[in-house]
Amino acid sequence: MRHDANLTTDRPTFVTHLECSMTGERYEADQLHGLSRAGRPLLVRYDLEGVKAALTPEALAQRPADLWRYRELLPVRQTTNIVSLGETATPIVPLEKETGNVWVKDEGRLPTGSFKARGLVMAVAMAKELGVTTIAMPTNGNAGAAAAAYAARAGIEAVIFCPADTPDINVREIAAQGARVYRVNGLIDDCGKIVGQSKDTRGWFDLSTLKEPYRIEGKKTMGLELAEQFGWELPDAIFYPTGGGTGLIGMWKAFDEMEALGWIGAKRPRMYAVQAEGCAPIVRAFEAGERHATRWEDAHTVAAGIRVPQAVGDFLILDAVRASGGKALAVSDAALVKAVDDAARKDGLLMCPEGGATLAAYRDALAGGLVDAEERVVLFNCATGLKYPLSDQSKYLDRHQPIDWGEL
């Protein structure tokens, strides 16, 4: 099979409709939608009996190992609307120096260096299919970079708003890929308000997290891929860095779809939504027994990707965590920074701060008895650590002076 067969071969599609995640109200497929009339995310629904007849795990195994091999479970109808920068399957890497049977799904291997590529490639491809000419969105960095890259690939204009303290590497990456990028003196939800206030007058389509239906579909491929990598048996627990929570929601959706297809059984991983102590609205809501999370004031953490004061899909995150028997956990910045350092020095895996948060949370969960060392646990490292500031720990050596070999 050709290396690009998933991108170039016409395959049947099975989308039937879209559905409000809160009310169940049905919406027509193949039309441009934002949030539902209830102001909640829309979920894409499929003819799963049709998918079952058209696609098997054995057939999947014969296809090139990229995100687009799951075409029958994705929303893009026309092959010509597929957008791609090489969304390869990401590896699961064991942390051999950690206590327990713990693996990292290293999403930093994706285009633009983060798992945001999964959601944004699908959102942009569907924007292309539905005739969008300009997208706009807020970002803490990596999502904006992915949106800019795929928009450039698709010939769509991109306008990106980010908090003023977004890392320079992200801001410059967004601009380098052709988007108009603006720093805003506020947090990501403040940036989102600017998009909401201007999208109608400017003719922009709002690509904000969960305010269009298709980022979930891209992110759900993490769940499909993970099941396939583990031989169609899901792990016992998943620790997921949670800001907007699209990936956690998407994976939970993927698990239901795979069970309906007969690819997996009823077993589900316990889902642990990991946040930073300086921005933990999901944790607070979970602990209070609430279904919705109120805005977290004065949000702060070095893990910018999970610095999301309020998530539009809060109830979907909390529903999945509770249904799985999992929990929402918060870790300190000191603990996540130490976890990043330990993973690099001991296991050679350079994680991002948000990935470090999952390792810190796993350690706490192991110590507190939420997981045991025999269970198979997967942590999500959502971006390459190379996109984040690294301290200079080198020493200078003057080759023209006598060298003290004992000090080397």
Q: What is the pLDDT of residues 69-107, one digit of tens each?
A: 999 999 999 999 999 999 999 999 999 999 999 999 999
Q: Which residues contact 36 (CB under 8 A, 6 or more apart)?
A: 20, 21, 22, 23, 25, 27, 42
Q: Is residue 304 very low, low, confident or very high in pLDDT (cuts 50, 70, 90)?
A: very high
Longest C-alpha distance within the chain, in Å? Answer: 78
Report d(CA 352, CA 167) in Å as an integer.
13
pLDDT, mean of residues 14-37: 97
Give the pLDDT of residue 326.
98
Q: Is residue 175 very low, low, confident or very high in pLDDT (cuts 50, 70, 90)?
A: very high
CB of 318 within 8 A of CB of 286?
yes
Question: What pTM does this model have?
Answer: 0.96
Helix axes 353-367 and 333-347, enclosed angle (nearest 10): 100
**Location of structure tokens 């004031």:** 297
Q: Is residue 287 very low, low, confident or very high in pLDDT (cuts 50, 70, 90)?
A: very high
| Domain range annotation of the chain | 5-71, 92-113+220-387, 116-206
Per CATH, 92-113+220-387 and 116-206 having the same topology is answered yes
User: Of 59, 81, 83, 84, nearest to 70 (Cα)?
Assistant: 59
Report d(CA 345, CA 353) in Å as an integer.
15
pLDDT, mean of residues 161-189: 95
Which two tokens mark 407? 């000090």
Over residues 186-204, the pLDDT tens digits come to 999 999 999 999 898 999 9
CB of 237 within 8 A of CB of 372?
no
Give the pLDDT of residue 407.
86
Report d(CA 215, CA 200) in Å as an integer.
21
3-state secondary structure 118-178: HHHHHHHHHHHHCCCCEEEEECCCHHHHHHHHHHHHHCCEEEEEEECCCCHHHHHHHHHCC
Give the pLDDT of residue 9.
97
Give the pLDDT of residue 391.
86
Question: How far is CA 124 from each of CA 31, 32, 111, 127, 146, rounded to the nearest angstrom?
Answer: 14, 12, 14, 5, 10
Q: Which residues contact 331 (CB under 8 A, 6 or more apart)?
A: 274, 275, 276, 277, 357, 360, 361, 364
Over residues 235-280, the pLDDT tens digits come to 999 999 999 999 999 999 999 999 999 999 999 999 999 999 999 9
Which two tokens mark 44? 């894409």
Statement: residue 12 has pLDDT above 90: yes
Over residues 207-246, the pLDDT tens digits come to 999 999 999 999 999 999 999 999 999 999 999 999 999 9
Q: Which residues contact 258 (CB under 8 A, 6 or more apart)?
A: 223, 224, 227, 232, 264
Over residues 114-164, the pLDDT tens digits come to 999 999 999 999 999 999 999 999 999 999 999 999 999 999 999 999 999
Say which DSSP state 35 is in: S
Report d(CA 333, CA 281) in Å as an integer.
16
Give the pLDDT of residue 389.
87
Question: How far is CA 40 from each of CA 23, 262, 272, rounded to the nearest angstrom?
Answer: 9, 30, 23
Q: Is residue 35 very low, low, confident or very high in pLDDT (cuts 50, 70, 90)?
A: very high
Give the pLDDT of residue 1.
85
Give the pLDDT of residue 202.
94
* Beta-strand relationship, 134-138 and 157-163: parallel
CB atoms within 10 A of CB 262: 12
**Least reliable range by pLDDT among 44-53, 320-329, 366-375, 399-408:** 399-408
Over residues 362-405, the pLDDT tens digits come to 999 999 999 999 999 999 999 999 999 888 989 999 999 999 99
What average pLDDT does the structure give for the chain? 97
> Is CATH 3.30.420.40 correct for 116-206?
no
- CATH (residue range 92-113+220-387): 3.40.50.1100
CA angle (107, 113, 119) in 5-degree steps: 65
